[in-house]
Structure 1
Amino acid sequence: MPQDVYDKVIMLAKRRGFIYPSFEIYGGVAGLYDYGPLGSQLKNNLENLWRYFYIYKDSCLEINTPTITLYDVLEASGHVDEFTDLTVDCEDCKLSFKVEDIIEDESSIQQAIKDETLICPTCGGKLINPHPVNLMFATKIGIGKTRDAFLRPETAQGIFTGFHLLYRYAREKLPFGVIQLGKGYRNEVSPRQGPIRMREFSMAEAEVFFDPNNKSHKNFSEVKDHILYLYDNESEFQLTMEDAVSKGVINNQALSYYMYLTQTILIQGGVDPKKFRFRKHADDELAHYAEECWDAELFSERFGWVECVGIADRSAYDINAHIEASKTDMYAMRRYESPKIVKHKKIVPKMNILGPKLKDKAGDIKAIIDEMEVTGQIENLTIPFEGEEYLIPKDAYDVVEVEEKEAGEKFIPHVIEPSYGIDRILYCILEHNYKEIEKENESYHLLSLPYQMAPIKTGVFPLIKDESLTCISEKIDKTLREHGISTSYDETGTIGRRYARMDEIGTPFCITVDHDTLDDKKVTMRNRDTREQERIDIDALPDFFKKQK
């Protein structure tokens, strides 16, 4: 069978140290990959490009939270019940498969099994027993007395559970955004698509909090004329951001703005604009938390259109869920022009009764009760604390009506979430920039990566292995590295072979030190894409690279 572009890219990626299967000496594990020296730097470059737009262009805050997440958190968020795939098992080889990988219309799965038309793609046996499988990796925290937990399926929940602290840090002003980059985990049923479907993957997520009464964006007017590439599940079309919002194709400015930001990042990162589009989720495929969602899809010759970024209006779902589950005040405040006097009910703990019952936990539980709002009749007052539920006896508290001065009204913020699958984007960037050309009757591979994405910015070569040339070359290499410019020093093989090695890993420039350098203190700079060469002063090299984009 002839190799397709996926085979060629994966072979190059493994040979040249971009990405390769983990634990191969022990047979490997589907869905787990290592990033090699070049792949790690390529990944860093993409993540730093992403950071540039979200931190410096959009003023987001960056945090880091644990990859181990409590069961309670993911139960509240809906992942325990909803994070599932419908799965079938092979009667003969015992392998399992996702239904959506076997049959397009899930509604006909029962009929397909009844008709015995579902065949195992591995051994040809019958596929039986359709059942949902939760895709989270379960674990326990602690030894002896433990708490149930999971490896996180997304970074978002770590942001939501800390919203009340982040809101104070942002001086209680909306909108504000919080970003997080890190690992996510999904125990895929049958990962057979290389870096497209991984069990441990890298995510870059932003949670941007808005007043639900105002989902405008301060930068929208500056970029409203930019064109977005859209697909409504029927046809592809292009609209300006302003037209997309005014015509109701996209519900609000905020969602449109983060679609623009995503499109800009991906195209600057090396995605082919002809292989990029935003696809709108139909109502029947929206996630349990989403009010509206658009996927940034990238085209792969083997896999077709691949979802690489999801941009969702999560409304108030997550924070509301955590308020209800944790009984914590995570509301935002819409301030009045002047304070108002209002009456409301409040729970007042009787510490002379509560203290002896709860002992050292009494103070913490009192603090939780003090923050609670009373909206109806209290039947049973139960307080969750440190993984346990504490029933507060009716004789241990009073419900009183109080008058208080209020500075504003509380509300639950809405969230716009752009969520990026870094590994999928990286694979598509490699595929979109992979080229084969014929040179001297040989197949010649080239990665046309943008300068800012290239793991190595320049090769540094002495024309021949001569001490007078290698001494200068090594000094240039050292100087550039001290200026933060990644280089690859190479003095072996013909100059043509050295150029070819650099072209294959996407290096945009090569510097050659020749005998003329000894006299004129200049080097030959070769451009990967144009093949043009020019002479440049050695002293001007750091500035030359710092001006590249």
Structure 2
Amino acid sequence: MANLPVNKSAHPFDKARFETVLNRRFFYAPAFEIYGGVAGLYDYGPPGSSLQANIIAEWRKHFIVEEHMLEIDSTIMTPAPVFETSGHVARFADWMVKDAQTGDVLRADHLVKNVLEARLQGDKEARGQAAQPPPSEDDKKKKKKKEVKAAAVQLADEKVTEYETILAQLDNYSGPELGKLCRTHDIRNPDTGNEVTEPQQFNLMFTSSIGPTGQHPGYLRPETAQGHFLNFSRLLDFNNGRLPFASAQIGRSFRNEISPRAGLLRVREFTMAEIEHYVDPGDKSHARFGEVKEYELDLLDRHTQEAGSTQATRTTVGDAVARGVIANETLGYFLVRIAQFLLKIGVDPKRLRFRQHMQNEMAHYAADCWDADIHNSYGWTECVGCADRAAYDLTVHSNKTGHPLVVREALKESIVTERTVAEPNKKVMGKTFGKDFAAIAKVLEDLDEPSLEKLKADLEQGTGTVVGPDGRNFALTPEMLTIGRKTFKQSVREYTPNVIEPSFGLGRILYVLLEHNFWAREQDIERGVLSLPPVVAPTKVLIVPLSAKEDFQPLVREVSSKLRRAGVFSSVDDSNASIGRRYARNDELGTPFGVTIDFASIQKRTMTLRERDTTGQLIGDIDAVIALLVELVNGTASWAEACRRLPAYDGVQDVD
């Protein structure tokens, strides 16, 4: 019984049953449900909250601890000037369309995607290419929708190719181009069959105000990143002025999604985990790149997508960086670390790819960007973004505030240079130009060498002219300034660092993790199992006393106390249900291990140890089982090793 074979693919994934389990066991539920709920807002129940907390704990270990990052916690409420400067007020938007008859609002790219995918699915069904499982109750309800009613229609081969090409390039389309697609391909609201309006931009930030009179407009942050950048000087000082280094933050963010659907995959309030890794713009190598360069990833680059394909190519990160597919070593290093984290917490490696952003979809601040896409019942979903934000954010905030967000690095050897400079006679120019003097001096300071040489030649002829910031011409005479060659000695290099940003949507990761690990036992299709790795499972060990008699309580308390002291979260199920039923309930919750305390346990101080996926059981001394459990939960021992260390339990214990 210790190592029964597991066939997780014996039954196809049943989404309706999966969602029933999540709802019944309160992993999460619509917020404000008894008031009718609000789209895109969810509350996590006990298992969902524990799962999220465990994902976050592992994220901290994997990134903050292992990479020696500086963790911060910045505010959610943000004054409007911050997002005006960063570009979010002008650019943080999606394209929406409205039902021409009902006024219902739809996100334009999602509308195109859903309708074209439904038509392609219908084409497969019409051609007999898609063997479909029996429809669930959820599927039957969806049959009422227009896109499913009209689905089983065979398309011309060229139309299939055209649709597939559009879907491959969908993220690259602008708003007007999405509108043209709707008109060209007769894409309508699938719920009503009505035409839709031309796309319009909709800013996704929630507006608010700060102060009792609302005199300070503000926004709920759509990302945590700006809190990093505004504290850059303090972080640099904390790190003794040295680069590279990274800051990290986990916190709530808010996006006023146009039409939130797909459960946790598109919500209006969510938890993010973001890293800002600051690097020298002239050197984006990474000290640990050699450790990961042979790691293979499935990469879908922009050129493949622009050619109309979604076929990822498996390649080593070292090769991708060498060929310029991935922009630099630091970006490549973090792609690997992201993949390692996702696989460690239980994401199916066969359903993970990294997709490069195409030019038109690239964020306004990004020089290169890759998404960790994870496949699930809704298709491929972006769960992590990893962008090279260049020096955009630090530069715009520095320009706006006048606060230098720069690195000053002492040079090992001073650099001596000679260049042409203009030295104004402050007394003469100040008297001549008054309040305009400062602006003129700044113009002179910014002139390049050819312009200075021309101005010098003009002055030798009598007068020269410069153009002020407002377009006015100012006449200069030789007594106002001197232009000549000057030697400079530079012992400090000053530069604005670039930023590599991995950004994690933890709610999306949590959802796909649940999907990837849900299955049914071959002998009992109704018996759902969540094969969550112990590192993230909400409860690690279930303690099952065979009887509720008082004699069992001291031993139950002892086992529970020893596990808690060892840092292993456990729960006790002393209900009247059968042992099999009690274990089945906790298999649904993802509890990886269970121990049974029976009458022999009281007499012999032995107990059985059960593994969730195989249902195999071992037996041993209570303290030996607890010690082994600690190793299993911490990942320092495997179940195969446990089977070598303890004998299998045959279902019988002799009681004296």
Per the normalisation by structure 1, the TM-score is 0.86
Partner of 2:236: 167
Amino acid at match of 1:480: L
* Alignment check: 8 A CA contact 1:296 1:308 kept: yes
Number of residue pairs matched? 504
* C-alpha distance in structure 2 between counterparts of 1:268 and 1:99, whole Å: 35
Gaps of 5+ in 1: 348-372, 382-398
Counterpart residue number, 1:244: 320
Instruction: Give the structure 2 partner of residue 282 of structure 1.
Output: 358
| Distance apart, 1:20 and its partner CA | 1.1
Aligned to 2:451: none
CA distance in 2, matches of 1:180, 1:282: 27
How is 1:385-396 mapped onto 2 (pairs within 5 angstroms)? none
Structure-to-structure mapping, 1:172-183, within 5 angstroms: 172-183=241-252
Q: Which residue identity lines up with residue 282 of structure 1 in the other structure? A: M
* 1:145–1:230 CA distance, 2 compared to 1 (3 A): closer
Structure 1, 41-50 or 107-116: larger mean CA deviation: 107-116
Moved more, 21-30 or 484-493: 484-493
SS of match in other structure, 2:599? coil
Unaligned runs of 5+ in 2: 1-11, 114-172, 425-443, 448-465, 471-480, 636-656
Question: For each residue in 1:463-488, what CA deviation from the matched residue of structure 2 results, as whole angstroms up to 9, or x when unmatched?
Answer: 12222223312331233123321111
1:483 touches 1:542 (CA, 8 Å); kept in 2?
no
Question: Which residue of the partner structure matches residue 461 of structure 1?
Answer: 544
> Which of residues 24, 39, 49 is equivalent to 1:40?
49
Taking the TM superposition and a 5 Å limit, the aligned residue runs for 1:121-200 are 121-144=190-213, 146-200=215-269
| Alignment of structure 1 residues 288-437 onto 2, 5 Å | 288-301=364-377, 303-338=378-413, 375=446, 407-437=491-521
* Aligned amino acid, residue 266 of structure 1: L
* 1:527 corresponds to: 611
Q: Distance in 1 between the 2:422 and 2:30 partners?
A: 60
Provide Cα deviations, 1:188-244, integer angstroms capped at 9, x if missing partner: 010011100000011110000000111111111122222222122333222222212
In the TM superposition, residue 309 of structure 1 has moved relative to its aligned partner by: 0.5
8 Å Cα contact 1:45/1:452 also seen in 2:
yes
Aligned 8 A contact 2:592 2:613 in 1: yes
In the aligned structure 2, how far is the partner of 1:297 from the partner of 1:259? 12
Between the aligned partners of 1:459 and 1:418, the Cα distance in structure 2 is 36
Q: In structure 2, do the counterparts of structure 1 residues 55 and 434 end up closer, same or farther at CA, with 3 Å as the change threshold?
A: same
Change (3 A) 1:32 1:244: same
Of 204, 216, 219, 2:288 maps to 219
- With 209-218 and 103-112 compared, the bigger mean Cα shift is at 103-112
Asked if structure 2 preserves the Cα contact closer than 8 Å seen for 1:215 and 1:253, the reply is yes
**How do 1:485-500 residues align onto structure 2 when only pairs under 5 Å count?**
485-492=568-575, 493-500=577-584
Q: 1:483 matched to which residue of 2?
A: 566
More strand per residue: 1
Give identity over the alignment, percent: 38
Structure 1 contact 5–431 (Cα < 8 Å) conserved: no
Q: Is contact 1:31–1:191 with CA below 8 Å preserved after alignment?
A: yes
Letter in 2 for 1:42: L
The one-letter code matched in structure 2 to 1:477 is S
Query: Are the structure 2 counterparts of residues 304 and 477 from structure 1 closer, same or farther at C-alpha, using a change threshold of 3 Å?
Result: same
In structure 2, do the counterparts of structure 1 residues 221 and 495 end up closer, same or farther at CA, with 3 Å as the change threshold? Answer: same
The 1-side partners of 2:520 and 2:562 are apart by 33
State how far apart, in whole Å, the 1-side matches of 2:283 and 2:595 are.
Answer: 53
Give the Cα separation in 1 of the matches to 2:292 and 2:182: 52
Cα deviation 1:296-322 (Å, max 9, x = unaligned): 010012x11111001111111111111
Deviation per residue, 1:130-151 (Å, 9 max, x gap): 3111110001111226211100
For 1:201 and 1:26, the matched residues in 2 are separated by: 21
- For residues 356-375 of structure 1, what are the alpha-carbon distances to aligned partners after superposition, in whole Å with 9 as ceiling and x for unaligned? xxxxxxxxxxxxxxxxx964
Counterparts of 1:16-165 in structure 2 under 5 Å? Answer: 16-104=25-113, 106-111=175-180, 117-144=186-213, 146-165=215-234
Q: Which segments of structure 1 move beyond 4 Å, counting only runs of 4 or more?
A: 104-116, 338-347, 373-381, 399-406
Q: CA deviation at 1:109?
A: 4.3
RMSD: 2.8
**Residue type of the alignment partner of 2:557:** E
Deviation per residue, 1:280-300 (Å, 9 max, x gap): 112222111111111101001
TM-score normalised to the size of structure 2? 0.72
Distance 1:341 1:112 in 2: 59
Q: Does structure 2 conserve the Cα–Cα contact (< 8 Å) formed by 1:310 and 1:420?
A: yes
Q: Structure 2 residue aligned with 1:538, among 617, 622, 629?
A: 622
